[in-house]
Structure 1
Amino acid sequence: MSTTSQSQPAEPESAKRKAPTEQTSTPTLTFTTRNPLWTYLKLQLTHQPPVSQSTLIQPLDPLTARTYLSAALNQFLGLSGTAISIDILKIDPPTGTNAKTIWIRVPAPDASAVVAALSSWVGGGSSSGDATGAGNVAWRVCAKGNFLQALVNGSGAEMFVP
């Protein structure tokens, strides 16, 4: 029994791939997010008449915002609603015609329940016990999205308009 070994012919030097000397462009990186962890909401606190001018220009503090958010969740969902994690990201002070705006982050599975609770809630606005001129307050859901950058800067549709 004889074994013959077949040797493969050596590749010529010109067939080898040469390393590029200069980089022409940066590679494009793409990714897909199917199940985002968070949902971002832009809310506006509105006052129902009668309301005094001093109430309108008073800034919204984080403690009052948290109290109003918890009251809405408690009224709509009960004790399980108050267990929903809410992160207050930013509170915009009222300026001119712009009302009191707040940005929050909630877990994505709870987003629809939070939107339903906040949009249907109307609470008493008198925090100091003085019922004159305070009126009632309510949350208005201005925007909802899975990515904060898209909510802040818009949808990007203006890029495709000729």
Structure 2
Amino acid sequence: MSPLNDTKPKVAHFTARSPPWTYFKLQLIHQPGTSPSVQSQPLDPLTARTYLTTALSQFLGLTGTTISIDILRIFPDSPPPQDTTPTEKGVWIRVPRPDAAAVVSAVSSWIGGNSTGDAVGSVAWRVCAKGNYLGALVQGSGEDLFVP
């Protein structure tokens, strides 16, 4: 039998010892007493990016603004109807693994105010999930994370 006719499949093993990314699920929370109209405003990509960059800037200064943050998904995908209570708002993000500890510290200690500068209507981030493998965080294949 020639080596070319050998149909036995070759098995390849792959182990990721140091994954390059860390994934986070962050929830945007409002201070008690925030008006329902403020709470019902949808979270858009620009606002989410501004909140994240501000948190990193306040915690680490100019160095914090250089941390690469990829916004993977903003939830909920659509604003809630006017006659219902506000739904949970947040983001799934990806950051380089070496910067994960700094991101956790920055976003968990940040409290942002509204444009008028008063305490009523301020927001903060809550870290709901953190991990180096996205599939483990979403408890499954993760396909629902990227559904339009």
TM-score of Structure 1 vs Structure 2, range by shorter chain: 0.7 to 0.9
Contiguous gaps of at least 5 residues in structure 1: 1-15, 155-162
- Pick closer, same or farther for the CA change 1:139–1:145 going to 2, 3 Å: same
Contiguous gaps of at least 5 residues in structure 2: 141-148
Equivalent of 2:123 in 124, 131, 137: 137
RMSD over aligned CA atoms reads 2.7
Normalization by structure 2: what TM-score? 0.77
**Using the alignment, how far apart are the partners of 2:50 and 2:26 within structure 1?**
14
Structure showing greater radius of gyration is 1
Check the 8 A contact 2:40/2:86 in 1, yes or no. no
TM-superposed CA distance for 1:73, in Å, is 0.3
Structure with the larger RCO, 1 or 2 (CA within 8 Å, 6+ apart): 2
Partner of 2:51: 68
Normalization by structure 1: what TM-score? 0.71
- For 1:38, give the aligned amino acid: W
**Using the alignment, how far apart are the partners of 1:28 and 1:101 within structure 2?**
41
**Using the alignment, how far apart are the partners of 2:97 and 2:117 within structure 1?**
38
Check the 8 A contact 2:36/2:86 in 1, yes or no. no
TM-superposed CA distance for 1:130, in Å, is 8.3
What does residue range 12-161 of structure 1 map to in structure 2 within 5 Å?
Answer: 29-93=12-76, 98-124=87-113, 126-127=114-115, 129=116, 135-153=121-139
**Using the alignment, how far apart are the partners of 1:29 and 1:48 within structure 2?**
52
The share of aligned pairs that are identical, in percent, is 62
- Pick closer, same or farther for the CA change 1:34–1:43 going to 2, 3 Å: same
